[in-house]
Structure formats: C-alpha cells, structure tokens
Amino acid sequence: MKKFLFRTGIITAGIVLLIFVIKLFIGFFGEINQYKKMEARVEKIIDGDTLVISGGQKVRLLGIDTPELHHPDRPVQKYAKEAKEYLEKRVKGKNCTFEYNINEKFDKYGRLLAYVYVDKELVNSELVKKGYAYVYEKDDNRKTKEFLMLENVARRLKKGVWE
C-alpha cells in the first residue's frame, strides 16, 4: 500500500510539474505571438506620445504618457513641447517599426497602441529615460517593468518632468 501511495504521489507530482511547464510555455509563446510588427513612415507629430503614419492612422505610444500639449481644460504642461520636439527629431519623416498587441490594438479614440522603434531603438523608453514621459500604468503591458525602472532613474537624476 505504501508503494502504491508513493507511486501515485510521484505520478501526481510529475503531472503537476508537466502542467506547470506547459502553462509557462504557452504563456511565453502566446505573449510573443500576440504582438505583431509593421513598418510605416511617420508623417506628423501631434504631441509627445501621439503621431500620424502614412495612410493617416494615428498612433499612441504604448505604455507611456507625456505632459499635455492639447488638453481642452488645461494649459500646456511643463515639458509637453520638449516631448513633442524630441519625438519629432527622432521619428518624423522616417520609416519606423510599430509593434502592437493584436488583442488590444486600438484605444477608445481609434489610435493604434504601439511601441515605436527607429534604428532599432525603442522610442517609448527613450522618452521615459529623458524625463519627457511618465509610465502609463493603467494598461499592463510587457514593457511596464522596464519603463518603471527607467522612470525611477530619470526621477533620481531629476531629468525633465522630475526636475
């Protein structure tokens, strides 16, 4: 009887471990597969975290929020112009890679939510690193932890909005 219980315990533990590994595997590859990339030319910069690509589609930089430049109820916030100018210098007129989650492709305003890469650099993180953007934590995305670390460094160095 003891051998039977021992074997059953070993088999049960093996099944639990196998299920755990399969869930990890599916979660890892599921997250990779839910993100797609596309190339497009940046035609216009609206503000520090919104731009327009060829074809007229508006894109909102995923995972970050820059100070308000065009808010109906608020004046222009500190570093809003600098954030827009930085984004303009980095991406306007350039072909960029836009990476988006196929399950959460657009925000409530119809803007594509995307990570923006130019010359293999993630522009979203550069804006946070320079203190021109805050981490937008309302949407949990796969780069939130990275962005929070960069924001913490910008705070400690008193860069941009953190001065």
Q: Where are the domains of the chain?
A: 1-33, 36-162
Q: Name the catalytic one among 31, 41, 43, 60.
A: 60
Residue 35's contacts (CB-CB under 8 Å, 6 or more residues apart) are 99, 100, 101, 102, 142
Q: Name the catalytic one among 43, 68, 82, 99.
A: 68
CB 135 within 8 A of CB 64: yes
Looking at domain 36-162, does it have CATH number 3.90.1820.10?
Answer: no
3-class secondary structure, 33? helix
In tens, the pLDDT along 53-76 reads: 999 999 999 999 999 887 778 776
> What local confidence, expressed as pLDDT, does residue 158 receive?
96
Q: Name the catalytic one among 41, 43, 104, 111.
A: 111
> What local confidence, expressed as pLDDT, does residue 109 receive?
94
Higher pLDDT residue, 56 or 140?
56
Residue 60 a catalytic site member: yes
Residue 7 a catalytic site member: no
Give mean pLDDT, residues 97-114.
95
3-class secondary structure, 78? coil
**pTM metric for this prediction:** 0.78
CB 147 within 8 A of CB 125: yes
In tens, the pLDDT along 10-46 reads: 766 556 565 665 665 555 554 557 899 999 999 999 9
Residue 41 a catalytic site member: no
- Which candidate, 115, 140, 139, places its Cα nearest to that of 128? 115
User: Quick one: CA dihedral 17, 20, 24, 26, positive or negative?
Assistant: positive
